[in-house]
Structure 1
C-alpha cells in the first residue's frame, strides 16, 4: 500500500479526523485546510471528506482558520513539517495562499483545492460547484419570476454577495451580473457583501430595505446570507410568503436545512443547491486516483453538478437522486 497522508486545515484549528483505528502506520496522510465547520455546508463538506477517508483507511489532519486568512496560511505552512503526502485546501483568499502553495509544491507535495481555488497553476485540480453558473441560474430564475409577475422582464433586484476574495463569491456575483445584462429593464439597485455571516447579512439587508422601498427580488450568494435577509425582512415588516402581494422573490445557494424549510414555508422561492457531502467524497477519490495511478481529470476545474430546488420539486425523486445533503449531515 502506498503511503497517503492528507492534512485538513479548517479555519484556524488543526486536528485529525476520519482516521480508522486499524489504519496502517504508513497510511496516506492528507492535510486538509478549510474555513470553519460552523455552517451546515462546511459540516457537510468535512463529513464527505471524513467518511470517504475512513472507508479507504486514510489519515486526515484537519484545521479550521475561522475566517482568518493569515491563520490559514500559517496552518498550511505547518504541513511542511507534519510529513503530509497531499494537501487539500479550501482557500479563504485566492491570492493570499499562493506563496505558501508555492512552498508546498517546491517540497514535492501535491496540492488540491475544494469549493474554492487559488490563483496559481500549481494546483493539481480543484473540485467545486460552477459558481458562474450558479449566478446565471439565479438571474434566469428571477427574470422569469419577474416576467410572470409583471408580464415583462422588469424589476428592481439586490445582490447580497459573498466575499469577493474567494473564487466562489466573485463568480456568483459575476455570473448573476452578466446574465442580467440580457434584461436591460431589470435593475440591480443594491450590491452589498453579506460575507456569509448571519448578523452582517441581516444588518446590510436592513439598510438596503430602508433605502429601497420597492425591491422585487434578492439573490443571496449563500444560505447564511439568505437567512440574514429573511430576518431583516421580518424585522422590517417586509416578510411575505409567495403569492402574497409585496412578496420579495428570494433566491439562495447551497441547500442547507434552513433553506429547504424556508422553501416549504413559501418565503424562499428557490435555492441553487450544491452537494458538499458528495463533493468531499469525490475530492478524496480524485486524490487517491492521482496518488496511486497518476491520473487527473482532463481539466483543472472539476465542476460538481448543481440542482435548483423549488417548491415544485423539493419532494421529487429527481432531487432525492441528486442528494438531499441537508437531511444527511450529522
Structure 2
C-alpha cells in the first residue's frame, strides 16, 4: 500500500496547489505570485465567473473509463460546492478504440467550446494535429492514463506504466517458478500506456531464461475480444504456464481460463481494479497490478480547472499503483464497491 500513501501525499500537494497554484521547474513545486494565479483563483472562488464544462474523451466504451467518469464527477461536484460555479462533466466515449473515431469525437467536443478537454489517446501521434488545433483555440487539453508525450507541453495524469507492468511480470515469474510458457496479451497497440506496459512486460521477462514468451493476442480494449483471443491461445498451448495483459480486459481472459478448466493451473496476473476483475481474485486471477481510475478522473478535472483559470500546472501527476492479491482482496473489494 506504499503507493496508496504516495497518492494521499500527492492529494495533499494538489489541495495546496488548488489554493496557490504551482509550476513545474525541474520537478519542484513553487508557489505562484500573489498578483498572478492566486488572484485568478480567488476570482474563480468568488462565484462571479461563469459556469464551466469539461469534456472527458476516453479511448472507448469500457467499464474502466466509467470509473474515471465517476471520479471526474466527484471532483466537479466538489469544485462546484467550493466555488459557487456549476462545473459540468461532458463524457464522450467513442464506440471503438480507433484514432479516427476518437479524433472525430475530439473535434465534436471542441465545437461545443468547453473550458477544457481531458483525453486518453488511442494514438497520440495520430491525434497530435487535432490536439494542437484545439489548444490554438484556447481550449486546454489534459491527458490521462497516458505518459507525457516527449516534446509536448501537455500535462498527464496517470502512473508509471512500466513499473506497473514490471510488478506484474515479476509476480507471475514467481508464481510459475521462473519457468514455463507465458502469453502476453496486448491492449490497443498504438495507445502509449498499453505499448509502454507491453514493452516493460517483455523486458522484465528477459530476466528469466527459463521463461518462453509467446504472443497472447490483441484485445483493443475489448473484454469480449480478450476472452476470444485468450481462448485461442489456451487451446493452441495446452502447456501454458502463465498469462499477462496490458489493459483492463482481465475479466475476459479469466473467463477463458475458467472455461478451459485451467483456473489455478494457468497463473494470471492482471491489470486494474474493476470489480469484475477483482471477483476472479485469487482463484483464477492470482494478483492484479492496478491503476486508480477514479483518482485519475478526479485529478484530471482538477488540473483542467486550474489550467482554465490561468494557473501553471505540473507536467505529471502520479496517481500511484495498487497491488492486489489474496492478502488484501477483501479490502480492495470494499474500496472499489464503496462499501
- TM-score normalised per structure 2: 0.77
Residue 80 and residue 195 in structure 1: after superposition, are their counterparts in 2 closer, same or farther (change >3 A)?
closer
1:288 Cα deviation (Å)? 2.4
Aligned to 2:140: 110
Change (3 A) 1:215 1:53: same
Match of 2:219 in 1: 194
- Cα pair 2:257 2:284 within 8 Å, conserved: no
On the 8 A contact 2:140/2:308 being kept in 1, the answer is no
Q: CA separation in 2, counterparts of 1:240 and 1:61?
A: 40
In 1: Cα distance, 2:176 partner to 2:254 partner: 19
Q: Which runs of 5+ in 2 are unaligned?
A: 1-46, 81-86
**Separation in 2, partners of 1:235, 1:30:** 42
Unpaired segments ≥5 residues, structure 1: 1-22, 148-152, 242-246
Q: Distance in 2 between matches of 1:194 and 1:34?
A: 16
Which residue does the alignment assign to 1:74?
104
Three-state SS of the structure 2 residue aligned to 1:324 is: helix
1:259 CA displacement: 1.8
Could you say which residue in structure 1 is the equivalent of 2:70? 47
- SS of alignment partner, residue 262 of structure 1: coil
Distance 2:90 2:214 in 1: 45
Q: Give CA deviations for 1:91-117 in whole Å, capped at 9, x if unaligned.
A: 122222111011112222221111135
TM-score (norm 1): 0.79
SS at match of 2:78: helix
Contact 2:186 2:217 in 1 (8 A): yes
The residue aligned with 1:250 is 268
Cα offset for 1:232?
2.2
Instruction: Flag the structure with higher helix content.
Output: 2
Structure 1 range deviating more: 23-32 or 97-106: 23-32
How far is the alpha carbon of 1:254 from its aligned partner?
0.9
| 1:200, distance to aligned residue in structure 2 (A) | 1.6
After TM superposition, the structure 1 = structure 2 runs for residues 298-309 of structure 1, keeping only pairs within 5 Å, are 300-309=315-324
Contact 2:61 2:94 in 1 (8 A): no
Give the corresponding residue for 1:27. 51
Partner SS for 1:187? strand
* Number of residue pairs matched by the alignment: 286
Query: Aligned partners of 1:311 and 1:207: how far apart in 2?
Result: 28
Answer yes or no: is the 8 Å Cα contact 1:111–1:123 preserved in 2. Answer: no
Contact 2:55 2:89 in 1 (8 A): yes
Q: Residue 94 of structure 1 contacts residue 117 of structure 1 at CA under 8 Å; is this kept in 2?
A: no
Tell which has more relative contact order, 1 or 2 (C-alpha 8 A, sep 6+): 2
